[in-house]
Structure 1
Amino acid sequence: MLWDIIKAFLVGGAVCAVGQLLIDFTKLTPARILTGFVITGVILSALGLYEPFADFAGAGATVPLTGFGHLLAEGIRKTIENDGLLGIFTGGLTAAAGGVTAALLFGLIASFLFRQKDKS
């Protein structure tokens, strides 16, 4: 178990380091970098490379945005197998529904518990 935690920490840290390097040394906006990470996850998943990577790195590969792209791609692939071409429109939403719902729910709870403050 300790080795799994170390692998997740190192891989997740490496993904974050790549993002930081892109912020520091390119003129890409954070939104473009985040979108690029999601698209990278989709492409690696389509090529069959992300699943072995996620099996090796665990949460270090599934939690960052590349993992979200992989989740969307896998959801679409599975739904197309079951429902046909309609799965293109519904697969990604169905696969990500649990995580998106949790994020919205926790954000709502946090908004009730904490007051908004201005930066000044």
Structure 2
Amino acid sequence: MDYIRAFIVGGTICLIGQILMDKTSFTPARILVSFVTAGVILGAIGIYDPIVEYGKAGATVPLPGFGYALAKGAIKDVKEMGIIGAFTGGIKATAAGIAAAIFFGYLMAIIFNPRAKS
């Protein structure tokens, strides 16, 4: 059942992204930033928590999940360290994901020799 719920939540997020690409003039970069920002806002006000509990990886893996992790990390560190935690908490909470993205992106660039479209 967890797989089905993750598929439903993740699929709904992807459906929203596809609708935004098809029906608006938003660029993919603007959609990316909008999803991360939405995750931060929804995480900060507590709306994304029930979505994560229901959809698990279907909610945490897509882009809003990254924003959610940023918000949760910042909120946690603000409670522990004060205002400086607003700047450090999100970075600490997402450091492993950012490092993995950089490492695997670099590894794929070495393996597949990317080049610009002509």
Query: What interval of TM-score do these two structures reach, taking the shorter chain for normalisation?
Result: over 0.9
Rounded Cα–Cα distance in structure 2 between residues aligned with 1:118 and 1:52: 42
Q: State the partner residue of 2:66.
A: 68
How high is the TM-score relative to the length of structure 1?
0.92
State the Cα distance separating 1:29 from its structure 2 match.
Answer: 1.5
**Match among 4, 7, 32 for residue 5 of structure 2:** 7
Q: Which 5+ residue runs of structure 2 have no aligned equivalent? A: none
Gap runs ≥5 in structure 1: none
Tell me what 1:31 maps to: 29
- Give the residue type in structure 2 aligned to 1:28: F
Q: Which of 73, 77, 80 is matched with 1:79 structurally?
A: 77
The change in CA–CA distance for 1:78 and 1:115 in structure 2 (over 3 A counts) is same
Report the alpha carbon displacement of residue 10 of structure 1 after superposing the two structures with TM.
1.5
Deviates more, 1:36-45 or 1:92-101: 36-45
Q: What percentage of residue pairs aligned between the two structures are identical?
A: 50
Equivalent residue for 1:17? 15
* Paired residue total: 118
Task: Give per-residue Cα distances to partners, 1:33-83, cap 9 Å, x unaligned.
Answer: 111111111111122111111010011100111101100000000111111
Question: What is the Cα-based RMSD across aligned positions, in Å?
Answer: 1.1
Mapped to 2, the partners of 1:13 and 1:101 lie a distance apart of: 26
SS at match of 2:82: helix
Q: Spell out structure 1 runs of 4+ moving beyond 4 A.
A: none
TM-score of the pair, normalised by structure 2:
0.94
